[in-house]
Structure 1
Amino acid sequence: MKLPATPAVQVTDPNFSLADIDPSTTAPFTTKAAAEKRLKKLRERLSELQENLYAEHRRSVLLVFQAMDTGGKDGAIEKLLTGVNPAGVQVSPFKAPSTKELNHDFLWRIHQQTPGKGHIGVFNRSHYEDVLITRVHGLIDEATWQRRYTDINNFERLLTNDHTRILKFFLHISKEEQAARLQARLDDPAKRWKFDPNDLKERKYWDDYQTAYEDALRHCSPPESPWFVVPADKKWARDLAIIEIVVAALEDMNPQPPAPSYDVAAQVVE
């Protein structure tokens, strides 16, 4: 797959650092107006490719979204899927695990939500929470999170071996942008339902989360299921970067509808 020119960075360097990526950059994108025109064109192409994927019914796509609180996962997913046939899409938001889920291995609840043949699956948060929040809050020890990196890589390899294309997006915002978004939620009565006081508590662990994300991205970004760090302070650039990568991956897959199993010429509609 040839990567399109976007602000997003594919994680390939085992020594990569989030501090080296500017969350506010939009380069090589130029203006919001130009991005919106490009976004409209790509949405039309995504719709065509998704229809072919659904008709082909041999392969699937899994899109994983992770971010700090207020990072824009919901908005990014909404923008990406605008105009896509919902019959061929499955969005799975992962909250805190239930008691039943905790009685199983950490991947048990995840595997049940992976996309079937012909579908695009979207994870809003994911199995990576089990090497992030659990690590930051000391719920697991280092030996466990290190072992889970291997488990995650093996799990994702299983999916790719079963013809699921995996793309993972970390929406990278600055601490200053997070503060502005949290304040905006408090200031707007229509958005206060989005505000959670726990977000202020989690914000105190900012540096710890950055470290946990860096380690997870470094250890779990093989070529067949790569991580892309998407600068996300500017929402319009974030949205265009994501759809550029998704469309490029689907173009690379080149899904094709099956040939008719009947004699077309013999069919007469009266």
Structure 2
Amino acid sequence: MNLNRYKITGNERINLNDYPTTENKSHDNEKIRDEIIPPLVDRLKDLHLRMNAEEKHGVLVVLQALDAAGKDESISYIFSNLNPQGLKTTTLGKPTEEEMKHDYLWRLHDALPARGEVGILNRSHYEEVIAPRIHDVLLEGDYPEGTDENTIWPFRFEQIRNYEKYLHENNFHIVKFFFNMSKHEQKERLLERMKDPDKQWEFSFSDVEEREYWDDYQKVFEEMLNETATDYAPWYVLPADDEWHSRRLVNEIMVDLLERLDPKYPEMTGEDKEKLEEYIKRLESE
């Protein structure tokens, strides 16, 4: 599959309306779930084990979307299959009182992966250029000198680009997924949650309240994608109405990234290898 059709690197400005929310893949759900995704997950597991053993690279995965777009399901069906020792999942929700005393990227530090790990951000630092714009909740201390409610956003976009470049230059690779969902599909998924007693725990009243700002969110998302997509930290815009197709794409994109990193299991050499042979003989002779 041509993954570049979903990829944004910032080389040219995009219109979010040009990216479909569906590719009419829902009729292939069973085939994608039962035949296509399992071998992809197996390949991803193998690459992740190699990366975890090599401890040379880290990968930061950003999942960004409105509610019910499929972020949690991607974690459940794909990333939960990876070795827990090399996996770190963090949800960055509404800032706590302690977090609000610091700069807006401060709370990201503990969520970053170590070398050998995949770190997943279910919502991310991008909340800091989304929600505050929709709801105008920035405090006076959040504004750098010389900025106001309009000029602060280009300032933050530049800071995020620079921060992600710093991570990339230190062997922490960033892949960002935007789940592009239609308003109609979100309505159907929210209604399903609300009507099913077994799914009502997933529902929040704010999910419906936020729909009032749908058009505002789409404008902010489009600017976010244009201003923070780079060659070293690209965005992938997924047709999120097609749930299983989107999960397949996440898996394929992750496999593609790790294959390019080409992680390898460490090999013993010199005295360690000689000692290994000695210990093998010792155990075999017991």
Q: How does 1:61-76 map to 2 (within 5 A)?
A: 61-76=59-74
TM-score by length of 1: 0.94
1:172 counterpart = 2:180: yes
Task: Point out the more displaced range, 71-80 or 167-176.
Answer: 71-80
Distance 2:179 2:243 in 1: 10
Q: How does 1:1-270 map to 2 (within 5 A)?
A: 4-6=1-3, 9-12=6-9, 14-26=12-24, 31-36=28-33, 37-140=35-138, 141-261=149-269, 262=272, 263=274, 264-267=276-279, 268=281, 269=283, 270=286
1:132 alignment partner AA: I
Q: CA-to-partner distance for each residue in 1:192-233, whole Å, 9 max, x for gaps?
A: 111111112111000111111110110111111100000111
Task: Point out the more displaced range, 193-202 or 235-244.
Answer: 193-202
**Residue of structure 1 in register with 2:144 after alignment:** none
Contact 1:26/1:234 (<8 A) preserved? yes
Q: What secondary structure does 1:222 align onto?
A: coil
TM-score by length of 2: 0.89
Greater Rg by CA: 2
Structure richer in helix, relative to its length: 2
Distance 1:235 1:8 in 2: 18
Distance 1:34 1:70 in 2: 23
Q: What secondary structure does 2:198 align onto?
A: helix
Gaps of at least 5 residues in structure 2 are 139-148
Task: Point out the more displaced range, 94-103 or 254-263.
Answer: 254-263
Cα offset, 1:139, TM superposition:
2.7
Percent identity at matched positions?
34
Count of residue pairs the alignment pairs up: 266
Distance 1:198 1:119 in 2: 33
Distance 2:113 2:4 in 1: 28
Distance 2:259 2:24 in 1: 24
Distance 1:99 1:136 in 2: 20
CA-atom RMSD in angstroms: 1.7
1:64 alignment partner AA: V
Task: Point out the more displaced range, 109-118 or 76-85.
Answer: 76-85
Distance 2:5 2:190 in 1: 24
Contact 1:156/1:225 (<8 A) preserved? yes
Cα offset, 1:8, TM superposition:
6.0
